[in-house]
Amino acid sequence: MGKSSKDKRDAYYRLAKEQGWRARSAFKLLQLDEEFNLFGDVTRVVDLCAAPGSWSQVLSRILIQGQTVGRAAWEDKRYQELRRLREAGSLPEEYRSGLCAPPSSKPRKDVKIVAIDLQPMSPLEGITCLKADITHPSTIPLLLKALDPSYDPMSTSIEASHPVDLVLSDGAPDVTGLHDLDIYVQSQLLWAALNLALCVLKPGGKFVAKIFRGKDVDLLYAQLKVVFEGVTVSKPRSSRASSVEAFIVCTDFRPPRCFRASLDSPLGARNTLQQNGDKDLALSTERSRITRDDGIIELIVGSEPQHTDGDIRWIAPFLACGDLSSFDADASHKLPEGHVSLDPVQPPTAPPYKTALEERKKMGGAYGKTKLGTGI
């Protein structure tokens, strides 16, 4: 796909380039923040699976530079046009919400941001970038050391002396196309992130992570509900409706009473959190009918948390985020008059098959014994 047609196909791709974000993912975090106010009172943050670093850029602009990166800062003319219409009183209700003046903010004190990824990441001022695998146990001491230089890596403690307010993880594997496997690998990344969060998050802290909303996602929701008071699954408008990607927003961390994060037996498919009785109750819903403010009748069909094969399933409430008037990631957009397609802020990292591509080019478009490799 040509650059320009990608601009049309994906408004967020274009906006990201225009506004200097390293990836369009920045908008996902901004839109999650719009709904969940993720950054209120937050100074210490861990950004997992951070490369190329657009989430870290958001953190940097908001926490370090004290900028307001609200919608006002990134919406463009089309949006302003809608707004003008609204002022003429012709837009329906939901377009009016959330248009209040952005809260003013200034640089915060004692900001600490640590970003981790497998891939090298271009530095960002004020942010500690680590190159490490979040599923590897050696990453825990690395992270603790980065958060707190006085941490003794030889000590056996794996709890942060100065815990953080927010742990983010946008990690995703290279999907294979074998859905069961992709969902499994993604859940392992989520577990690894949660494991790190359990070591560094302060009680009451927040955890936001990418999740694949596919088969058995309700098993994961039920597990997260054990350690967080609030568990909501959310889909930013900048994330395509056609993708299984969503974000789990967990608030109010409640470390389980006798839980100690452990290197030897980290959480994961192999080691799940035990539900206790009251939690079980919290997961059940009763049949009810509520008339919402907008007149829609919500019918909760009612369910017990389902125990199958010893697994507990629970469906977290869903909340779409990002204002309805913001761009639809699936829509085609007309490009503004005289549009010049920009280069991405950061070139994509070289794929592992780079050598293969070069080799193929050398051979004139085919590998080794060309006649067998093509055509058939």
- Between the two ends of the chain, the Cα-to-Cα distance in Å is 26
Asked if residue 275 binds another protein (CB under 8 A), the reply is no
**Partner whose binding site includes residue 275, from ligand SAM, another protein, none (CB under 5 to 8 Å by kind):** none
- Of 17, 210, 225, 279, the active-site residue reads 210
Which residue is associated with the tokens 């093509």?
Answer: 374
Residue 344's binding partner out of ligand SAM, another protein, none, with CB under 5 to 8 Å set by partner kind: none
Which residues, in sequence order, are bridge partners of residue 90?
none
Cα dihedral 76, 79, 81, 86 sign: negative
User: Binding-site residue total for another protein (CB under 8 A)?
Assistant: 93
**Which 8-state DSSP code applies to residue 118?**
S
Binding ligand SAM by CB under 6 A: which of 8, 14, 17, 22? 22
For ligand SAM, give the closer residue by CB, 189 or 312. Answer: 189
Residue (225 or 235) nearer to ligand SAM, CB: 235
Query: What is the rounded CA–CA span in Å between residue 250 and residue 39?
Result: 14
Closest CA to 185 of 175, 195, 196: 175
- Residue pair 56/159 in contact by the 8 Å Cβ criterion: no
By CB under 6 A, is residue 164 in contact with ligand SAM? no
**Structure tokens given for 143:** 């992270």
For residues 152-191, which are near another protein according to CB under 8 A?
153, 173-174, 176-181, 184-185, 188
25 binds, among another protein, ligand SAM, none (CB under 5 to 8 A by kind): ligand SAM
Name the 3-class secondary structure at 230: strand
User: Is 210 considered catalytic here?
Assistant: yes
Crossing angle of helices 139-147 and 179-200, rounded to 10°: 40
Q: What is the CB neighbour count within 10 angstroms for residue 5? A: 12
Position 325 contacts another protein (CB under 8 A):
yes
Does residue 179 contact residue 215 with C-beta atoms inside 8 Å?
yes
Which residue from 315, 335, 341, 346 is in contact with another protein, where contact means CB under 8 A?
A: 315
Smallest separation (angstroms) from another protein to the CB of 252: 21
133 appears as a binding residue in the annotation: yes
Instruction: Please give the residues from 26 up to 65 whose contact with ligand SAM meets the rule CB under 6 A.
Output: 26, 49-55
Residue 318 near another protein by CB under 8 A: yes
Q: Establish if 137 lies at the interface with another protein (CB under 8 A).
A: yes
Does 218 belong to an annotated binding site? no
Q: Which of 190, 223, 240 is nearest to 12 (CA)?
A: 240
7 annotated binding-site participant? no
* # residues contacting ligand SAM (CB under 6 A): 23
Nearest to 52 by CA among 7, 3, 16: 16
**CB of 341 vs ligand SAM, minimal distance in Å:** 21
Contact 74, 15 (CB under 8 A): yes
Does residue 94 bind another protein (CB under 8 A)?
A: yes
Cβ 54 vs Cβ 115: under 8 Å: no
Which residues form the interface with ligand SAM (CB under 6 A)? 22-23, 25-26, 49-55, 116-119, 133-135, 170-173, 189
- Residues with catalytic annotation? 210
Annotated binding site for S-adenosyl-L-methionine: 53, 55, 117, 133, 170
